[in-house]
Structures are given as structure tokens and as C-alpha cells.
Amino acid sequence: MESGFGPETGMDSLLQTAVYLSKWYTTEVLEGDMSNFWVINTKQKNSWLANKLLRLRATAYDWIKHQVGNGERTYFWTSNWSPFGKIRDYLQGETTSSVGIQSTVTLAELWEEDHWVLPPARSESQVRIYTYLSTLQIVPFEDTMQWMPEGTPQQRYSTRMIYDVLRQEAPTVPWHKQVWFGGGIPKHSFRTWLMVLNRCPTRDRILQWGLSTDGNCLLCNAAPESRDHIYYACAFSSEVWINISGR
């Protein structure tokens, strides 16, 4: 009897879950409109993850470019529709009231019939924005968004690309092949990498994070626990290594 579960059905289930979560996030967190992602505030009722995504907006802002159509989902102040980035940041020191354009105004609301209706410019920065706006026209098609994590439009999402964009580049260490090598178990390699960099949650580090815990070694209880103690000074772990190496 077949279970009915295989690679295809498993992938279908995963995709269905992703679609459901996307719809839920749009409905419950973004109040039914994806474009609210740039203007909505974090809320106490939201889950930690939902608010975390909102707090990451500044990181992802330059990667998502608005292509103006009817302008109904493109906000003047916060959407990434111009070469100047977020207008709110570009017009530093100028408030919505001094500019004369409300904080929630869309481009569609600044367009009447066949021209832009804008308050008089009060700064050179506003003049540059208005000059760029004059090159755009509102058309009877929905606004679209382009995924541009490296400055050029991408048709597919790549985890590797985002990793390369976010990570801090550093010189290659000479011992990396001792940790990462073909045939190695990734979980073991990752744990070794953390230990070499002293990034594992040993008790000395937990205390440094401000958390309350007993600082003595969990294995021998004879000295403060640290990476170096566990590997080079702990009597219990030394006995374990001796037994393993003697097999």
C-alpha cells in the first residue's frame, strides 16, 4: 500500500504551507495589503517573528524596487520608487507638514488626469524629486515590485545570493580545510568551527550575556567552565578523550 507521500507531494505540502503563511502575514500583520510592509508599525499582538520581519525592513529596502503603474500601492514617502531611495530619509530635516505631502499619500493621490499635483518645492532636494517625478506617468496597470538584491532584477530568489550580500567578508583562515572537507559530517564541522572561534554557549559566555547560571564546569565542577577548560584542563573530558583515543 502506497503512503502517497514522496518528493513531489512533500514539496507540494511545503509550497502550500509557504503560500498559506504568506497570505496569513499579509492579512493579519499587513492588514491585507503587501505595500503596508513599508509603513506599518510593529505591534504587541504580533508574534516575535512577525515583528522581526518588520524590523528587518531597512536591510531589505534597497533590494525591492517599485515599478510605478497606477501608483495606488506606491507610497510617496516610504516606497522605493525613486533613485533617491526612501524619500523620508532623503529629505532629512524636512517634515511632511513642511513639504505639504501627508505621510500616507500614494503616488496615485498626487496625480490628476494627466499631470502631477504637487506643492511648491522648498529645497533643492524637492526639486530633484519633482524633476524625476516628471519623467513618470500614471498608467492603468497595477504597480509591480522588482527583486534586486545586487542592483539588477532577479527572477528567482537565491538563498546563496542573500548570504553573499549579508555576510561580512574576511580573509580565508589557513586551517579551514581541517574543519570543512569532503566526506565530513556538516553538523560536526559546524560544531568544530564554533569551538575554534569560541562561539559555543559555554558557561563563561552565558554569564557574559548577563544570564544567571552556575559558572562552574558542568562536567567536573572543579573550575569555571570555558572552551579552553573543557578541552585542555577538565579531568572528566580528559578521561573521555583518553578512552576514545585508546580504542
On whether the CB atoms of residues 97 and 176 are closer than 8 A, the answer is: no
pLDDT tens track for 139-167: 999 999 898 888 888 888 888 888 888 88
132 vs 33 pLDDT, higher one: 132
Amino acid present at 41:
N
Amino acid present at 138:
I
Regarding whether 164 and 80 lie in a shared domain, the answer is: yes
Q: Is 174 helix (H, G, I), strand (E, B) or coil?
A: coil
pLDDT at residue 89 above 80? yes
How many residues make up the chain in this entry? 247
pLDDT at residue 131 above 90? yes
Regarding whether 162 and 197 lie in a shared domain, the answer is: no
**Residue 15 confidence (pLDDT):** 67
Q: What's the number of CA atoms in the CB half-sphere (13 Å) around residue 22?
A: 7
On whether the CB atoms of residues 127 and 116 are closer than 8 A, the answer is: no
Regarding whether 219 and 182 lie in a shared domain, the answer is: yes
- Residues 42-64: b if buried by 16+ CB within 10 A, e if exposed: eeeebeeebbebbeeeeeebebb
pLDDT tens track for 66-80: 999 999 999 999 999
Full domain range(s) for residue 93 = 64-169
pLDDT tens track for 191-210: 999 999 999 999 999 999 99
Q: How many domains does the chain have?
A: 3
d(CA 73, CA 33): 8
Regarding whether 71 and 40 lie in a shared domain, the answer is: no
**Residue 75 confidence (pLDDT):** 92
Query: CB burial class (10 A; 0-12, 13-18, 19+) of residue 206?
Result: middle
Q: What's the number of CA atoms in the CB half-sphere (13 Å) around residue 45?
A: 5
Q: What cell does 117 get?
A: 499635483
Of 44, 65, 69, the closest CA to residue 54 belongs to: 44
pLDDT tens track for 40-56: 889 999 888 889 889 88
Of 199, 202, 159, 208, the closest CA to residue 179 belongs to: 199
**Residue 165 confidence (pLDDT):** 85
Q: Is 216 helix (H, G, I), strand (E, B) or coil?
A: strand
The verdict on residue 8 lying in a domain is: no
Percent of the chain topping pLDDT 90: 49
The verdict on residue 13 lying in a domain is: no
d(CA 95, CA 166): 32
Amino acid present at 33:
D
Regarding whether 118 and 149 lie in a shared domain, the answer is: yes
Domain final residue, candidates 110, 136, 169: 169
